[in-house]
Structures are given as C-alpha cells and as structure tokens.
C-alpha cells in the first residue's frame, strides 16, 4: 500500500510546512539592488521568478516493505549565463519557496564568481536522518529518474547539498547514465574522485569561507594568529572551515550542530570534537568544554563568526547581540534583511553568502570542466585556482562597495545582478 507522509502522520507532519521567509528576503534584496542599477521593471520581474519549476511525487520502497511518497522539487531560475547549477538537499522542511529562493541565490553566486552557470536548486522533503542507506539510495535513484529529462551536462548539473554527499551524486550519475545509455560524468559534480569527481571538492566551500574571512581581516587591519572564531554548524562546511582556519593560527572557541554547541575559551581540539560527534551524534557534552545553545554560540564574543548551518539564523531578534567583528557566511541565507540593517549599524563586516560560500560551486565548475574535457587536475592546482578566484571576487565586491557606498552584501548583489541583467539584455526575448 502506498502511503503519503502527511499532517495526519505525526512522523511526517513537518513535510507539509511551507516557509516563504527566505524567498521574500531574496526578492527584497533583488528589488533594492534593482533600484541602484536602475533596471527596467520587466527585467526585474523576470529575475524574480524561476524559468521552470519541476515538482514530483517520489514513491520509495521502505525497508519494512511499505511504500511512502515524498515531494521533490527542481527549480531552474536563470540560464542567461550558462547551464543551470545547484545542489540537491534532503530535509524534512524542504519547501517550494525555499528551493525557489536558493535557486535564485545560486544565480547570483555564480555571477559574483564570474562562473558561466545559471542558478538551480533541488530537494526532497523527507525525514532523511531516519532513512537507511538503502532507502536513501532508492529515493535518490527514483528522484533522478523523474527529473532526468530536465537535467544534463549542458542543461542542469546538480551537486551535493544538505544531507546529500558524494555517494548521493554517484547514484544520480549512475541512474542518469543508465537511462541515457552512456556514462555521463558531467551530469553532476561533487562525485567521488573514483567516479570523475574533483580533488578538493569536499572541503571547497569551507575553504572559500575562510579565504573570505582572511581577506576581510586584512581589509580591517586584523591579525589572524590568536584571533578567536565561532562556527555555527559542524557539518561538512563548518567542520572544514573550522579545521582550516585553526590550522592557520586562529583559535576556534565555539562550534555547534543542530542539537546545540560547545565553548572553550582556550580553543577546541577539533579532531576530538569530530570524534565525539561521530560517537554520540552531537558536539554537545564534550569533556572539558562548556555546553551552550546555538543562540549562545551566535552571540559568543569572538573576532570572527562563521554561520555555516541553515538559513534565517541571524534575525532582528538576535542581531543586536552579535559580538563578532567579522562574519563570513557559510550557510545559504543565514541572515534576514532586518538583521542586516542592525549588523550594518553595528559596523560588523559581513561577507555575504553569495560570495563567501561560493567555493563549492567554483570547484564544481572546475570538476565539470575536467569531465567535459576529459582532463584531471591535481588538488594543488585546484586549490590555487580556487584561492585566486575567491580573492579576485572579494576584491571585485569590495570595489563595488566603495563605488556605491554600500555594504558588502548589497555590493555583491549589485555585481551579480548587473552581470545577469547585462547578459539578458544582450540575449533579448525569443520569439
């Protein structure tokens, strides 16, 4: 019997929740930037809306023999600068509005880094933490089969996102390849290296977050050695960002995951934290560290704050209590517009998500190029290319910030939206 997870089933009730706050934030930011750029109203309306929305019902055979159906999405926002590019996430609270907003942010992210891609995003609303490996594979293969006509190496290239990883991308690639009749390595990025993935992809987003934080510190006359850092989110991005910045001489005093966080004024042993999380499922209750809440982590006194968890974490309610001098955003949309105003007044230097966390999509681009050209670059080559591109993009945004006398977030949007708008004007409308 096929059963749809719904509000009547308490285990799946969160699947039906919709939250448009992040989408409204993205639209508001676009409208503000459009005024600065003096864009035509029709062009702005086009940019507000995705070019295509795919919604599917994904039936999955569960380990207990039952079949459950989950809602999946793929949103393609804009392809004026190249094929669509964006991750696939599995999470109980995935909603269409969230995916629309994240697809739009991907368009701006690619444009800020001057990567020839447009933005897309995908997701399936499901309690993925309760899934076995087999259930996750069956979900992935079924979802891939249902959107196979809408993705492809020159059309739309998915990548890992929240609760998806290299193995997930291998399943997507294999399923797509079986359906098309040839091995299509370039259909996804973030794959295992054994399957055509690029060295350095796993740590790329965290590395980019750190590069941007370091450039912000240089710009503000701050020294890295001995500086204090708090990291919200100890998943892939947060872990690598914490490890890299600590390795360069900073002191990571606080980290957190979805259950809460820990703090140590003397600095945390990150490998011990990672081992503790692997053993217990959380960073909390580590011996020698003080257990704190996620809210306490965000308001920890530190030099650098790296929000690497989920969207809408820094809001009008807690922004006034942020004590960091610099914030480099590893998550997508972690700061709401009303919080931005407060942070600006406090003169906190914020490196926005569409710049700071673009390391992942940049190395994804390098992976796609290697697959298309049948080449293989070393991790050292990729790391060098990534660092140069991230620093170049940071300086591009900083220049726009000075030119228009706006903060870094507005400057990043001005640069990105301007590049996309210019491409759309040159292309014109068909027919």
CB 280, CB 205: distance < 8 Å? no
Q: Has residue 3 got a pLDDT over 70?
A: no
**pLDDT confidence band for 173 (50 / 70 / 90):** very high
Which residues lie below 8 Å from residue 356, measured CB to CB, with a gap of 6+?
208, 209, 212, 213, 328, 329, 330
Q: Is 152 helix (H, G, I), strand (E, B) or coil?
A: strand
CATH class belonging to 203-356:
alpha beta
Average pLDDT, the chain: 92
End-to-end CA distance of the chain: 47
Q: Has residue 20 got a pLDDT over 70?
A: no
Please choose, from the candidates 421, 423, 394, 392, the residue with its C-alpha nearest in 3D space to the C-alpha of residue 408: 394
Q: Tell me how far apart the alpha carbons of residues 234 and 136 are, in angstroms, rounded to a whole number.
A: 22
Query: What pLDDT score was predicted for residue 295?
Result: 92
What tokens were used for 117?
Answer: 């891609």
Within the chain, all domains assigned CATH 3.40.50.10860 are found at 2-24+37-188
Q: Tell me how far apart the alpha carbons of residues 226 and 253 are, in angstroms, rounded to a whole number.
A: 11
Q: Tell me how far apart the alpha carbons of residues 80 and 342 are, in angstroms, rounded to a whole number.
A: 34
Residues that are catalytic: 121
105-157 pLDDT, tens digit per residue, is: 999 999 999 999 999 999 999 999 999 999 999 999 999 999 999 999 999 99
Query: What pLDDT score was predicted for residue 162?
Result: 87
Within the chain, all domains assigned CATH 3.40.50.720 are found at 203-356
Q: Has residue 14 got a pLDDT over 80?
A: no
Which residues lie below 8 Å from residue 76, measured CB to CB, with a gap of 6+?
50, 51, 52, 53, 54, 84, 103, 118, 119, 120, 150, 156
What tokens were used for 401?
Answer: 């910030």
Q: Tell me how far apart the alpha carbons of residues 325 and 348 are, in angstroms, rounded to a whole number.
A: 5
Question: pTM of the predicted model, to two decimals?
Answer: 0.88
In this predicted structure, which of 12-16, 223-227, 373-377 has the lowest mean pLDDT? Answer: 12-16
Helix (H) or strand (E) holding 255: strand 251-257
**pLDDT confidence band for 337 (50 / 70 / 90):** confident
Task: Output the CA–CA distances (angstroms, integers) from residue 422 to 80, 82, 87, in the order listed.
Answer: 9, 13, 25
What tokens were used for 299?
Answer: 């308001």
More confident residue, 303 or 4: 303
CB 327, CB 350: distance < 8 Å? yes
CB 319, CB 347: distance < 8 Å? no
Peptide bond into 431 cis (omega under 30): yes
**pLDDT confidence band for 15 (50 / 70 / 90):** very low
Query: What pLDDT score was predicted for residue 10?
Result: 33
Q: What is the DSSP letter of 262?
A: E
Q: Has residue 52 got a pLDDT over 60?
A: yes
Query: What pLDDT score was predicted for residue 378?
Result: 94
Please choose, from the candidates 108, 109, 93, the residue with its C-alpha nearest in 3D space to the C-alpha of residue 34: 108
Helix (H) or strand (E) holding 78: strand 67-78
**Helical axes 379-404 vs 96-112, angle rounded to 10°:** 90
More confident residue, 67 or 32: 67
Helix (H) or strand (E) holding 260: strand 260-263
Of the ranges 9-13, 176-180, 201-205, 287-291, the best mean pLDDT one: 176-180
| Average pLDDT of the residues in 76-86 | 97
CATH of 2-24+37-188, one of 3.40.47.10, 3.40.50.10320, 3.90.25.10, 3.40.50.10860: 3.40.50.10860
Q: Has residue 50 got a pLDDT over 50?
A: yes
Query: What pLDDT score was predicted for residue 26?
Result: 86
CB 308, CB 232: distance < 8 Å? yes
Q: Has residue 8 got a pLDDT over 70?
A: no
382-411 pLDDT, tens digit per residue, is: 999 999 999 999 999 999 999 999 999 999
- What percent of the chain has pLDDT above 70? 95
Which residues lie below 8 Å from residue 284, measured CB to CB, with a gap of 6+?
257, 259, 260, 261, 262, 291
Q: Has residue 13 got a pLDDT over 50?
A: no
111-120 pLDDT, tens digit per residue, is: 999 999 999 9
């Amino acid at each position: 019997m096929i059963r749809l997870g719904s509000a009547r089933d308490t285990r799946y009730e969160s699947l039906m929740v919709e939250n448009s706050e992040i989408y409204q934030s993205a639209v508001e930011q676009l409208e503000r930037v459009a005024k600065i750029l003096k864009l035509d109203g029709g062009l702005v309306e086009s940019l507000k809306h995705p070019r295509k929305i795919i919604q599917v019902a994904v039936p999955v055979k569960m380990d207990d023999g039952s079949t459950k159906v989950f809602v999946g999405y793929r949103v393609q926002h804009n392809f004026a600068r190249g094929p669509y590019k964006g991750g696939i996430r599995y999470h109980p609270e995935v909603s269409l509005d969230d995916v629309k907003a994240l697809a739009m942010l991907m368009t701006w992210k690619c444009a800020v880094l001057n990567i020839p891609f447009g933005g897309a995003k995908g997701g399936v609303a499901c309690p993925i933490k309760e899934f076995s490996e087999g259930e996750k594979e069956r979900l992935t293969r079924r979802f891939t089969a249902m959107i196979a006509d809408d993705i492809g190496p020159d059309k739309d290239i998915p990548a890992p996102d929240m609760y998806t990883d290299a193995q997930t991308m291998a399943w997507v690639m294999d399923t797509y390849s079986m359906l098309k009749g040839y091995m299509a390595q370039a259909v996804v990025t973030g794959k295992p290296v054994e399957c055509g993935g690029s060295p350095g992809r796993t740590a790329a987003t965290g590395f980019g977050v750190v590069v941007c934080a370091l450039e912000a510190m240089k710009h503000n006359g701050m020294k890295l050695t001995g500086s204090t850092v708090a990291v919200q989110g100890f998943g892939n991005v947060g872990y690598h960002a914490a490890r890299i910045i600590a390795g360069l001489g900073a002191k990571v005093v606080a980290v957190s995951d979805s259950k809460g966080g820990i703090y140590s004024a003397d600095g945390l042993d990150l490998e011990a934290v990672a081992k503790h999380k692997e053993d217990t499922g959380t960073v909390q209750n580590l011996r020698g560290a003080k257990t704190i809440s996620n809210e306490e982590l965000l308001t920890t006194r530190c030099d650098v704050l790296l929000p690497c968890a989920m969207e809408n974490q820094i809001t009008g309610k807690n922004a006034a209590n942020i004590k960091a001098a610099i914030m480099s955003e590893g998550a997508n949309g972690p700061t709401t517009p009303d919080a931005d105003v407060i942070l600006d007044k406090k003169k906190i230097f914020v490196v926005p998500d569409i710049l700071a966390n673009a390391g992942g999509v940049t190395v994804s681009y390098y992976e796609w190029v290697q697959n298309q050209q049948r080449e293989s670059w070393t991790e050292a080559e990729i790391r060098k290319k990534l660092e140069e591109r991230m620093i170049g993009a940071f300086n591009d945004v900083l220049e726009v910030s000075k030119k228009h006398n706006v903060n870094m977030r507005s400057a990043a949007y001005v640069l990105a939206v301007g590049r996309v708008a210019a491409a759309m004007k040159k292309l014109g409308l068909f027919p």
